[in-house]
Amino acid sequence: MASSHSSSPVPRPGSGGRDRFYHKDRDPSPPRCRPVRSLPDVCPKEPTAGEGRGLCDGPSVVAEHDRWTVYSSKVNLPAALNDPRLAKRESDFFTKTWGLDFAETEVMPSFYLPNITREHFGPYLQEMAQRERIHERCKTICPNKDDVDAVSSITTNHDKSRAELEQVPKIFMKPDFALEDPATFNTVLPWSHFNSAGGKSSRDVASSKLLQEKLSHYLDVVEVSIARQISLRSEAFFHAMSSQHELQDRLQETQRAVAILRGRTAAMDRVMCQGPLRALRTALTRNNCVKLHNKLKLMAAVHQTQPTVQLLLSTSEFVGALELIATTKEVLQQELQGIHSFRHLGSQLCELEKLIDKMMVEDFSMYARSDLNRSLREEPQVLEKVHKPNAVSEKERLESLVFGLLRQRKLDFLDIYSDEMILAAKTIVSQCVAESVLYIEEIDTEVVTKLADQMRLMTFPQWFELLKIVFETFILFLQRIKATLNVIRNVVLEVLDSNQKNRLLEEASLRPSGQESSRGSSFLQGEAELAYLTHEGLFISDALNEAQQQHVAVQDQSSVVGSRIQPTRTEAAGSESGTTETSVSSEQSFMSGENMMPTDLELNRVISSIQELLHVASDVSHDRCVKVLTARAKDGSLERLSSAEFVCLSQAVEGFVRDTEELCDRHSVSLRGALQSQANRFVHRFHEERKTKLSLLLDNERWKQAEVPAEFQDLVNSIADGRITLPERKTPGPDDRKPTEFLLVSGQKYAVVGTVLLLIRIFLEYCQCVNDIPSIATDMLTRLSDLLKHFNSRSCQLVLGAGALQVVGLKTITTKNLALASRCLQLVVHYIPIIRAHFETKLQPKQFSVLRHFDHITKDYNDHIAEISAKLVAIMDSLFEKVLSKYEVKAPMPSACFRNVCKQMAKMHEAIYELLPEEQTQMLFLRINTSYKMHLKRQLARLGVVNDGGPQHGLVVVDVAFYTENVQALKSLERLDLNMAEIWEQKR
C-alpha cells in the first residue's frame, strides 16, 4: 500500500554498470509553484508541559513519540473501509485521518524514478506475444474441469435464484420504493379486499393472514438470495480479514521503527539544532527590529511632509513641494500601505497638490501682470537682482513657476500671459495719450474725455510726437516680452535636454554591470542558508526568491527615505536659512517626477507656442498703433497733410515696422495696411490738388514763350544727372542768375510755356513721393499717367480745339501758339522714358504690367504732335488755295500772287524757326512745299498753261524761280530741295 511512495532507486538501463542508479533529468523549465499544504500528524500528540515547539506550530514527531497508542487513532479501520461518501472503498484508507484532500493532492514525482512508457515494454510484449497466443488457443481447446464445474454450478444456482426472485413483485425492486406514497401503499396492502363498513368478519381475517404469509414468503426469498450471495463471496471476505491481520502486524513494526527514529531525532534536536535555531531566531528578530525602526523613521519623515511643503511654498519652491508630495504619495502606496494613522494623508496631499496648482496659476498671472505693467524705461527687462536679503529675484521666481507648471502639465499658462499682454498693450496707448495731453494747455481733459477726441484736437506736430512715443513704448514693450519669453524658452529647453539625458540613463540602467551582478550573487549565497532554514515551504527556490525580495525591499526603502524625502527636507531647511535654489536644482527635482513629466512632443509644442506668442505680441502692438492712426484720421486730418508731413509719418511707421520685424521675426501687415489706406487717400488728395492746379494753369495759359528761371534749369540738369528728386529751395540772393529764353535739355533748346515748367516740377513731386513712400508706387504711377493724359487732352482742347479763345480771350490761335504747344509736348515726351525707368526701380517684377500706361501716353503725345504739324500744314494749305485760286499768268513778273505767297512763307518761318528745331522746320516746309505744288499745278491746269516754251510758260517759270529763291533764302532752308518741275502738265 505504501510502496508506491517509497520505491527504491531503479538502475539506469543501458551502459553504466549495475551499481549505478537512474537519476531522473530535471525539467529545464522553472517548476510550477503549487500551494503547499501542511499535513496533519498521523499520530496526534498530547500537550506536554515545559517542552517548547520548533519553528513551526505543527505537531512534533521528535519529542512525543512514546505518547501515542492505538487508541489515539481517530477512526477505526472498519469505519474507514465502510466510508459511504466515496464510491471507491479501496482508495480512502487514510482519508479519515489525513483529510479528504489527501488522496486528491498532486504529488511531485520522484526525480530518481524513470518515466515508464509503453516503449519500455515493447521488447517484452514482442517476446511474449507468441506464447500468449498459444496459451489462449490451449485454453479454448481444453478448458479446466474445475472451472467448468464451477461455472455450471454458478449458472444453476443463478438460474434458481433468478426464478425465485421473479416471484417477488417488481414493485419491491424499484429504487424509488416508498410506503409513504399512497399509490405504493395501496398496491402493497390492498385494503379494498377488506370490508370496512361493518366489523371484522372471518373473511377479512383470512385475507389478512394470507397477505401476511405472502409478504413473509417474499422476505424469505430475498434473505435466501442474500445468503447465497454471501456464501459465494465468503472466500474473498476471509482473505480480506487475513490481510487485515497482516496489515496490523506491519503497522506495529512501523510503529517501533518510528519510535526509534523519534528518539534519535530528539537527541539530534537537543544537541545540534536548538542552539543554532535560537541564534537564527535572534538574528531574525534583530532584522525585524531594524525594519521596524526604519519604518518608524519613514513614518516620522512622512509625518513632517505638510510642514515641509508649507515651508517650501513660502520660498516659492513649487517644484520641491510638488516633488515632496509625489514622493510621499508613492511611499504611502508602497512602504506605508495600510497604516491606519495615515489613512487620510493621501487625500490631504491630493488637495494640497490641487491648491499648489491653483497657487502657481495665480502667481504666474500676478507675475505677468506686474511684469508687463512695470515702467518700461526706468526698470530693466527682467529683474535679476534683489535688494532684500534672502529674497528671490523675479527671474528665479519665473523659472520656478515655469518648472512647476510644466511638471504639473499645465501647458496652457501661455494663454494667461497672452491675455495680460493684450490688456497691457491697451493700457500703453491710454497712458501715452494721457501723459501727452498734460502738456497741452489747449485741451481740457475734463470736457474732452475720449482719447480719440483728444488726439484729433492735437496739432500734427503734437500728434506726431505722441505717435513716436507710442512707437518707442511698444518697442520697449516687445523687448520686455521677448526677454520674458526667452527665460521661459530656456526653462523648456532645459527640461527637454534633461528628458533626453534621463532616457540615456534609463537605457544604460537596463544593462547591469558585472560588479552589481556579483554583489547580488554574493548576497544570495550569504542569505540562502538562513532563508532555507527559516522558510516554511518545500523548495529552496522559493526561499531564495523570498530573500531576494526582502533585500530589494530594504534597498528601495533606504533609497526612498535617503534620496527623496530627506533631501527635500534639507532643501526646505536651506531655504529657511536664506539659501535659494537655482534653476539647475529645480531641474533636478523636476526630473524626479517622471510620471508627470511632459513628453518631448508637448515641450516642442510649448516652444512653438512661445514663438507664436511673440508674433501675437507684434500683431497686438501693430493693432493698437492702427487704433491711434484711425482715431486721428477719422476727421480726414491725415489726408490734408503736406507731402513732407506725410513722408515723415510714413518713415516713422516704416521704421517701427522694421524694428518689430527684427525684434519679433514677424511680418505684421495691419499697420502697413492702415498706412497704405491712408496713403491711398493721401495720393488721391495729392493728385486731385495737382490736377486742379494744372487745370487752373492751363486755363490761364496764353501759350506764349516764357522765360526759364535758373532753378528750373538746375532742376532739368539734376534730372539729366540721374537725380529724380526735388532739389532744396534756395533763398534768393544778389548773385542769382537771370532767366533764359530757352530750356536746355540734353543739348537741345526747348521753348516752353510756364505751365510745362510747373508740370516738370509736379511729376518730380510724384517721383519724390514714390522715393519716400515706395508702397504707393503703383497708385502714384496710375495717378501720374492720368495727370499726363489730362495735360495732353486739355492742351489739345485749348490749342487745336481753339478753346483758349474763350477761356483766356485770345484773338486767334497763331502758328506760333501751335509750334510752342508742339515743342512743349515734345519736352514731356522726352521725360516720359525717364519717369518710366524711375518707377520701374520702385515696382516689384509682378507689377511691371502697369508700365504699359506710359506706352499709351507716349503714343497719344506723338499723335498730338503729329496733329499740330498737320494743322500748320493745313493753315498754309488753305492760304495757298485762297491765293493761288486768283493767280493769272500775265505781267508784271513776279506776280502779286507769288509775292503774297512768299511773304506768308516768310512769316511762317519767322514764327516757328526759333521754336522748332532745324530738322522739324525743314520737314514742315517740305510738306508745305508739297501742298503749294499741288495747288499751283491745279491752278495751271485750270488756266491751261503747259510746258510748251510759250509766253505763259515763260511767265510761270519766272514766278516759280522767284518762289524758289525766296524760300531758299530763309534760314536753315538753303539746302531745301523744292523740285518744282512736277507742277507742269505735259504737252498734249
Predicted local distance difference test score (pLDDT) of residue 956? 86
Same domain assignment for residues 366 and 492: yes
Mean pLDDT, residues 586-590 taken together: 44
Task: Decide: residue 296, CB within 10 A, 0-12 exposed, 13-18 middle, 19+ buried.
Answer: exposed
- Where in the sequence is the domain holding 935, given as residue range(s)? 886-984
Segment among 208-222, 254-268, 573-587 with least mean pLDDT: 573-587
Task: Decide: residue 667, CB within 10 A, 0-12 exposed, 13-18 middle, 19+ buried.
Answer: exposed
Same domain assignment for residues 960 and 828: no
**Per-residue cell: 556:** 528601495
64, 43 Cβ separation under 8 angstroms: no
Q: Is the pLDDT of residue 730 over 50?
A: yes
Same domain assignment for residues 830 and 909: no
952, 945 Cβ separation under 8 angstroms: yes
Q: What is the pLDDT of residues 257-296, one digit of tens each?
A: 999 999 999 888 888 888 888 888 999 999 999 988 888 8
Segment among 190-194, 620-624, 912-916, 971-975 with least mean pLDDT: 190-194
**Per-residue cell: 287:** 532584522
839, 777 Cβ separation under 8 angstroms: yes
**Per-residue cell: 657:** 515696422
**Secondary structure (3-state) at 708:** strand
964, 929 Cβ separation under 8 angstroms: no
Segment among 19-28, 591-600, 928-937, 966-975 with least mean pLDDT: 19-28
Same domain assignment for residues 781 and 718: yes
Segment among 17-21, 201-205, 275-279, 513-517 with least mean pLDDT: 17-21
Does 428 map to a domain? yes
Q: Is the pLDDT of residue 606 over 60?
A: yes
Dihedral sign computed on CA atoms, order 377, 380, 382, 388:
negative
Same domain assignment for residues 835 and 934: no
How far apart CA 17 and CA 14 sit, in angstroms, is 8
Q: Which residue has the higher pLDDT, 570 or 762?
A: 762
Question: What total of structural domains would you count in the chain?
Answer: 3
Write down the residue that cell numbers 522767284 correspond to.
962
Segment among 48-57, 189-198, 353-362, 506-515 with least mean pLDDT: 48-57
Predicted local distance difference test score (pLDDT) of residue 350? 76
Structure confidence at residue 452 as a pLDDT band (50, 70, 90): low
How far from 263 is each of 58, 61, 250, 965, CA to CA, in Å? Answer: 18, 9, 20, 175
Same domain assignment for residues 806 and 678: yes
Mean pLDDT, residues 373-402 taken together: 63
Question: What distance lies between CA 54 and its chain's CA centroid?
Answer: 67
Mean per-residue pLDDT over the chain, rounded: 75
Omega within 30 of 0 (cis) for the link into 833 = no
Q: What is the pLDDT of residues 404-444, one digit of tens each?
A: 777 776 777 788 888 888 888 888 888 887 777 776 666 65
How far apart CA 96 and CA 74 sit, in angstroms, is 8
Distant-in-sequence, close-in-space partners of 556: CB < 8 Å, separation ≥ 6: 334, 335
Same domain assignment for residues 896 and 798: no
Same domain assignment for residues 790 and 921: no
**Which helix or strand (DSSP H or E) is residue 313 part of?**
helix 305-314
Does 407 map to a domain? yes
Distant-in-sequence, close-in-space partners of 312: CB < 8 Å, separation ≥ 6: 318, 320, 321, 324, 568, 571, 572, 575
CA atoms within 13 A on the CB side of 273: 14
Structure confidence at residue 392 as a pLDDT band (50, 70, 90): low
Same domain assignment for residues 834 and 921: no
Does 692 map to a domain? yes
Distant-in-sequence, close-in-space partners of 5: CB < 8 Å, separation ≥ 6: 107
Q: Which residue has the higher pLDDT, 531 or 676?
A: 676
Segment among 296-300, 776-780, 973-977 with least mean pLDDT: 973-977
Structure confidence at residue 985 as a pLDDT band (50, 70, 90): low
Q: Which residue has the higher pLDDT, 948 or 961?
A: 961
Same domain assignment for residues 710 and 777: yes
Distant-in-sequence, close-in-space partners of 9: CB < 8 Å, separation ≥ 6: 21, 22, 112, 113
Omega within 30 of 0 (cis) for the link into 276 = no
Domain stop point among 825, 846, 871: 871
Same domain assignment for residues 321 and 454: yes
Q: Is the pLDDT of residue 39 over 50?
A: no
The domain spanning residue 683 has which CATH number? 1.10.357
The per-residue DSSP string of 284-301 comes to HHHHHHHHHHHHHHHHHH
Determine what percent of the chain is predicted with pLDDT higher than 70.
71
Predicted local distance difference test score (pLDDT) of residue 75? 59
How far apart CA 911 and CA 865 sit, in angstroms, is 17
Q: Which of 581, 619, 395, 379 is nearest to 488 (CA)?
A: 395
Q: Which of 494, 503, 500 is nearest to 607 (CA)?
A: 494
Q: Which residue has the higher pLDDT, 962 or 560?
A: 962
The per-residue DSSP string of 376-434 comes to TTTS-SS----SSTTPPPHHHHHHHHHHHHHHTT-TTHHHHHHHHHHHHHHHHHHHHHH
Segment among 21-25, 109-113, 157-161, 699-703 with least mean pLDDT: 21-25
How far apart CA 453 and CA 185 sit, in angstroms, is 121
How far apart CA 326 and CA 339 sit, in angstroms, is 18
Domain stop point among 871, 901, 935: 871
901, 952 Cβ separation under 8 angstroms: no
Question: What distance lies between CA 877 and its chain's CA centroid?
Answer: 86
Same domain assignment for residues 355 and 398: yes
**Per-residue cell: 388:** 532684500
Structure confidence at residue 243 as a pLDDT band (50, 70, 90): confident
SS3 letters for 709-767?
Answer: CHHHHHHHHHHHCCCCCCCCCCCCCCCCCCCECCEEECCEEECCCHHHHHHHHHHHHHH
Determine what percent of the chain is predicted with pLDDT higher than 90.
12
The per-residue DSSP string of 524-547 comes to HHHHHHHHHHH--SS-HHHHHHHH
SS3 letters for 767-835?
Answer: HHHHHHCHHHHHHHHHHHHHHHHHHHHHHHHHHHCCCHHHHCCCCCCCHHHHHHHHHHHHHHHHHHHHH
Domain stop point among 504, 526, 555: 504
The per-residue DSSP string of 479-533 comes to HHHHHHHHHHHHHHHHHHHHHHHHHHHHHHHTS--HHHHHHHHHHHHHHHHHHHH
Does 132 map to a domain? no
Does 102 map to a domain? no
Whole-model pTM: value is: 0.53
Predicted local distance difference test score (pLDDT) of residue 858? 94
Distant-in-sequence, close-in-space partners of 627: CB < 8 Å, separation ≥ 6: 429
Structure confidence at residue 513 as a pLDDT band (50, 70, 90): low
Q: Is the pLDDT of residue 916 over 80?
A: yes
Does 709 map to a domain? yes
Position 515, amino acid:
Q
Q: Which residue has the higher pLDDT, 823 or 672?
A: 823
Q: What is the pLDDT of residues 83-105, one digit of tens each?
A: 555 555 444 455 545 555 545 55
Segment among 482-496, 500-514, 577-591, 668-682 with least mean pLDDT: 577-591
Q: What is the largest CA-CA distance in the chain?
A: 211
Mean pLDDT, residues 389-405 taken together: 68
How far apart CA 585 and CA 807 sit, in angstroms, is 91
DSSP annotation of 343 reads T
Does 905 map to a domain? yes
How far from 713 is each of 367, 560, 706, CA to CA, in Å? Answer: 66, 94, 13
Does 955 map to a domain? yes
